[in-house]
Amino acid sequence: MAGASLRWSVHVAPSIPTEISDLPPDLPRRMWSPITATLIAGERDAVLVDALMTTEQAGRLADWVAASGKNLTTVYVTYGHGDHWFGLGTVLERFPRARAVVTPEAVAQMRKQMAPGVRLVLLEHALSRPDPRQTRRGRTADRRPAGVGGQRPGRGGARAHRHRRQTPPVCRRLPSAWWWPVTPSTTLSTCTSRNRLDPRVVIAGHKRPDRPDEPGTIAETRQYIHDFETVVESATTALEVYQDMLNLHPSRINQGALWGSARSAKGS
């Protein structure tokens, strides 16, 4: 796609229920946040950013990619959490000539996410089961060998999103909150580094389908994290943190994720 004008489009998989039993008093069930996948395309070829989580989500994503008429060459996984890559096997089955590209840091997170206790957070039957063999035609972004489930992908390099001179920068995978093992400090660091790119488009990894992909998302995320840290310092219980944050941010998309963060910060 060198020299070509790039376009991008965003697919948002809607919320799905989880099996998490730890609930705040005002929620009957915790839901998984909507998840985004982005298709970045040139005249003929395209790169898919993230592969979603369940078999159904990944199948619908593959249909969406196929409908674009583009030749999918690469699936770039931004993050090791399962909601961004458990659907990778389903996507690669649909596009067998595409390769998976993952950084060694993300692969380390993938190994942790493969633990049975993590996968059972969701309805197990709904998950797209990751196949270690899918990494055999994958690549790591800095040429170091890595793998999942004991398998090693081929050596190679990634050039995902290195198109700043050809098109307005796309800043991908900005967390809207954090969930272990991500911390407020690392999320703030991510926001700062992404903001230095001076992006014209910012696509959150989790967002409302009608939410515009604007650079202001970075400042809003930073403010949310600062507010959370301030509330945690003054509150004495997880419920106080939860309620105070909802008062500050009443339009939050996923109250269950906020409750999980509050519980992580205060315990009870």
Burial call 47-70: b when 16+ CB within 10 Å, e when fewer? bbbbbbbbbebbbbbbeebeeeeb
* Mean pLDDT rounded to a whole number for the chain: 76
**3-49: per-residue pLDDT in tens?**
458 899 999 999 988 878 899 999 999 888 999 999 999 999 999 99
Summarize the confidence of residues 85-105 as an average pLDDT.
93
Of residues 200 and 50, the one with the higher pLDDT is 50
Instruction: Return the structure tokens found at 261.
Output: 């963060």
Residue 81, phi then psi, degrees to nearest 5: -65, 140
- What are the Cα distances from residue 265, in Å, to 17, 50, 53, 137, 235? 23, 29, 27, 40, 10
Contacts of 252 (CB under 8 A, 6+ apart): 245, 246, 258
pLDDT tops 70 at residue 205? yes
- Domain residue extents for the chain: 1-165, 168-268
Predicted local distance difference test score (pLDDT) of residue 252: 85
Beta partners for 13?
35
Instruction: Return the structure tokens found at 216.
Output: 């202001």
CA dihedral 56, 59, 65, 70 (to 10 degrees): 170
Q: Which ranges in the chain belong to alpha helices (H)?
A: 55-67, 88-94, 104-113, 116-119, 184-195, 216-234, 238-248, 255-266
**231-240: per-residue pLDDT in tens?**
999 999 999 9
pLDDT tops 50 at residue 129? no
Residue 66, phi then psi, degrees to nearest 5: -60, -40
87 and 61 in contact (C-beta within 8 Å)?
yes
Task: Please give the Cα distance from 210 to 154 (Å, whole number).
Answer: 38
Nearest to 91 by CA among 123, 66, 118: 66
Predicted local distance difference test score (pLDDT) of residue 257: 92
Contacts of 32 (CB under 8 A, 6+ apart): 15, 16, 17, 18, 53, 83, 122, 254
**pTM for this predicted structure:** 0.75
Task: Please give the Cα distance from 62 to 41 (Å, whole number).
Answer: 15
Element (H, E) at 13: strand 7-13
